[in-house]
Amino acid sequence: MSRVRQGFRVELDPTVQQCARLAQHAGLSRVVENFCLALVKAALDQRNAERTYGIGEERLTPVPWSAPALEKAWRAAHPTAYPWFTQAGLSSRVPKEACRVRAAGLRNWADSRKGARRGGRVGFPTWRKRRHGFRFRYDADRAHPTGPSMVALPGVGPVRTREDMSWLTGRIGDGRARIIGATVRQRAGRWWVSFQLEIDRTDVDTRRAVAADAPTCGIDLGLATFAVIADDTGQVEEIHAPRALKAAQRKLRRANQALARCQRGSANRAKAVRKIASVHLKVAHQRADFLHQLTTRLATSKRAIAVESLNVAGMLRNRRLARAVSDAGFAEFVRQLQYKTTWYGSTVWAADRWYPSTKTCSVCRAVNAGLTLSDRSWTCRCGATHNRDHNAARNLLTAMHAAT
């Protein structure tokens, strides 16, 4: 029985008192993370001062980088520095996870400086502020479902959910799933709990497994048309994204104007902030729903999928395209394809970033070096006329077959 890591998110339906309790734990997590950061900064400053005194490296003040060291310092400090933690009866599991979160951020920064971490450069951790959002974590299965519509949260108590969790509780009950952590988060005044699971997906994956004779396809991603899918049967399908952010621009503009007219610290300003957050939340949900439905359909109906290796970070540096690129969610689309294809037995092949899929003629393989972004269609010297997106999808499919 093979197990995979998977998340399961459900919206909570807390009472007014429980909302206040959840906010207290989110504030506790923020306080602990800032306590850990202050401790590390003080140790680093002390080391720098000691170097100026000529003290050797082996005798410098140690820095508490690890989660156990940070947690030990918190346990020693909170009885006098933060007596309200014990008096309020808040969960002791939240500070433990806050120390782990801060230690992970410090480790990522250190690895990034040494070149041991892939991806973009990671900066030194910064202070957590209230405006950064409310969230906190529980370790292991401290937070767990107690029924199809009830979750037990330490320090908060049993909280009802707005969604049925029978899919999860059934698997926990017969041993097919195990909770390894939980994150509680607030967005736009609504609370969610996300369970991190180790789960056996054999039944679901077998039921949805891709057929052995399913077609293969190449996918060209773009802004005018989100995806052009060309499969080896000769069919070409165009997928248009909902462009949720673009559709919400008028609402966002009016909501931001209303916010600007409100006095700072007023109740109306708090309402205006929640209005803006609710619009952004709706946009995020529309985009996520579109991407999940599309990637699931592709992973269960295509035996092999060829995609581009897009430089999304570079595309975002273009001021004219940044909003449209962010609205599309190209990176999230590829990420979802990669893990869903492993579930359902299909594969994803990524072309080299510099592969000229758009400029190459899919008939004679000649490269049109003079093709520009504004050229939506072009004619090759061999006489073939191409739609640039359809042509790119066919070339990606051909490249995948040649490579595999």
Tens-digit pLDDT profile for the chain (404 aa)?
478 999 999 999 999 999 999 999 999 999 999 999 999 999 999 988 988 888 887 888 888 989 999 999 999 999 999 999 999 999 999 999 999 999 999 999 999 988 888 877 889 999 999 888 899 999 999 999 999 999 999 999 999 999 999 999 999 999 999 999 999 999 999 999 999 999 999 988 999 999 999 999 999 998 889 999 999 888 999 999 999 999 999 999 999 999 999 999 899 998 999 999 999 999 999 999 999 999 999 999 999 999 988 888 888 888 888 898 888 989 999 999 999 999 999 999 999 888 888 888 888 888 888 787 777 887 888 888 888 889 989 999 999 998 87
**Which residue in 31, 135, 133, 139 sits closest to 85, CA to CA?**
31
Asked whether the beta carbons of 242 and 286 are under 8 A apart, the reply is yes
Q: CA–CA separation, 171 vs 8, rounded Å? A: 12
Q: CA–CA separation, 103 vs 131, rounded Å? A: 22
Catalytic residue among 33, 71, 97, 308: 308
Catalytic residue among 71, 220, 231, 327: 220
Q: CA–CA separation, 336 vs 315, rounded Å? A: 20
Q: Could you tell me which residues come within 8 angstroms of residue 338 by beta carbon, excluding any fewer than 6 positions away?
A: 348
Q: What is the pTM of this model?
A: 0.87
Asked whether the beta carbons of 399 and 357 are under 8 A apart, the reply is yes
Q: Could you tell me which residues come within 8 angstroms of residue 227 by beta carbon, excluding any fewer than 6 positions away?
A: 219, 220, 221, 238, 239, 294, 333
* Phi, psi (deg, nearest 5) at residue 301: -125, -10
DSSP string covering 145-210, please? EEETTEEEETTTEEEEBSS--HHHHHHHHTTSEEEEEEEEEEETTEEEEEEEEEE--HHHHHHHPP
Asked whether the beta carbons of 152 and 144 are under 8 A apart, the reply is yes
Starting at the edge strand that comes first in sequence, how are the strands of the sheet with 236-239 ordered? 236-239, 227-231, 216-221, 304-307, 347-350
3-state helix/strand/coil string of 333-377: HHHHHHHHHHHHCCEEEECCCCCCCCCECCCCCCECCCCCCCCCE
For residue 174, indicate whether it is catalytic.
no
The β-bridge partners of 231 are 217
Check residue 373 and give left, alpha or beta (phi > 0: left; psi -120 to 50: alpha).
alpha
Burial label, 369 (beta-carbon count in 10 A; 0-12, 13-18, 19+): exposed
Asked whether the beta carbons of 74 and 97 are under 8 A apart, the reply is no
Q: Record the tokens describing residue 228, joined without a space.
A: 């052009």
For residue 232, indicate whether it is catalytic.
no
Q: Record the tokens describing residue 246, joined without a space.
A: 């673009």
Domains of the chain plus CATH, in order, are: 4-199 (no CATH), 211-245+276-403 (3.30.420)
For residue 220, indicate whether it is catalytic.
yes
